[in-house]
Amino acid sequence: MHEIVQDYYGNQLKHTDDLKTNACCDTNVTPSWLKRLLSRIHPEILSRYYGCGLVCPPLLEGCRVLDLGCGSGRDVYLLSQLVGSSGEVIGVDMTDEQLTVANKYQDFHSDVFGYKNVSFLKGYIEHLDKLNLEPNSFDVIVSNCVVNLSPDKDAVLNGINLLLKEGGEFYFSDVYADRRVPTAVRNDPVLYGECLGGALYWNDFLQLARRHGFVDPRLVTDKPILITNPELALRISDLNFVSATYRLFKLKNLETSSEDYAQEVIYLGNIPEHADQFIFDKYHNIERGKKFPVSGNTWRMLHDTRYVNNFNFIGDFSGHLGIFPSYGSNMPFDTTENSKIGSKCC
């Protein structure tokens, strides 16, 4: 599979418009703060963007960030601006042609930003241990439409867990299916290259994450993918695909379920670009200044991480009140027709 994917992203695709579906195509509305940062990135890098979501969580200043399957580096150069001169961003990709473009514009971007904090490494995301990266050294690991392309997703999650600091997070966008992808679809080179064939059934992804210590995966956003190419639509038959962004925290003390300890948090409104509310995940839209009840796990995800200075924390773990009223085991994605990613790329 590595060779098929390298050929697809190294030789067949030269530009975002060459994609045959919108699976690897981020159609999210671009916030104005992001437009400003994107305008400072070289047009050739922007034209070779194949991501499916926004992998820029808040509060990155000074962070050490790793981008898995960075391609020609659009997200690396975005994150470079968000971590600032005291932070660092490393991009990893296995495809020479992508890395050549990424490296070509290093000096351009350090001139525009006024500092250099970016590097690119050639390697496989299944073998992160071969890249001489120090274990427990990254605050944040991101990835944009890449994990689906890996033939060994267990190895990828294992490597991520080893490289993240305690309290660090894997924040990533990817493609998921509403059921297990049949072998014929998985073995179709175009569907695989287009980020559909290797997509995980969403519940298998949750199990995979839990197996590797990320016991409480949090869905941030999701958007159904509409396959407009009639030939490809026929080949995927009844399968439905979604582009989704998850955040997985590396925290030792998380529990396998959301438990209620009568804890609350109050958001202080001090996260840049999120003054009025902080959307932590799809189920936690936390308004500034208001008491917000949280489970023990959410409390820890805010208290034992880089978010600690952005909240007042009320309560502790001394009294347990049972299970926290929470989302159930249904498919977590919105699948209505009008929320589907349309035929037009960004």
Ligand X SMILES: C[S@@+](CC[C@H](N)C(=O)[O-])C[C@H]1O[C@@H](n2cnc3c(N)ncnc32)[C@H](O)[C@@H]1O
- Gap between the Cα atoms of 310 and 302, Å rounded: 8
Closest distance between ligand X and the C-beta of residue 301, in Å? 25
Q: How crowded is the C-beta side of 41, counted as CA atoms within 13 Å?
A: 24
Query: Considering only CA atoms, which of 41, 272, 56, 317 is closest in space to residue 171?
Result: 56
Closest distance between ligand X and the C-beta of residue 198, in Å? 9
**Smaller CB distance to ligand X: residue 92 or 254?**
92
**Smaller CB distance to ligand X: residue 93 or 222?**
93
Contact 333, 202 (CB under 8 A): yes
Q: What is the enclosing helix (H) or strand (E) of 166?
A: strand 164-177
Which spans of this chain sit near ligand X (rule: CB under 6 A)? 2, 5, 9, 24, 49-51, 69-71, 74-75, 93-95, 98, 124-126, 144-146, 149-150, 195
**Smaller CB distance to ligand X: residue 145 or 163?**
145
Closest distance between ligand X and the C-beta of residue 292, in Å? 33
**Smaller CB distance to ligand X: residue 64 or 74?**
74
**Smaller CB distance to ligand X: residue 75 or 281?**
75
Closest distance between ligand X and the C-beta of residue 32, in Å? 21
Closest distance between ligand X and the C-beta of residue 26, in Å? 8
Query: Considering only CA atoms, which of 33, 102, 49 is closest in space to residue 346?
Result: 49
Give the CA distances from residue 171 to residues 67, 115, 134, 144, in Å, rounded to whole numbers and listed in that order. Answer: 10, 25, 19, 9
**Smaller CB distance to ligand X: residue 8 or 307?**
8
Closest distance between ligand X and the C-beta of residue 2, in Å? 6
- Residue identified by tokens 């790329």 is 345
Dihedral sign computed on CA atoms, order 128, 131, 133, 139: negative
The two tokens of residue 298 are 């959410």
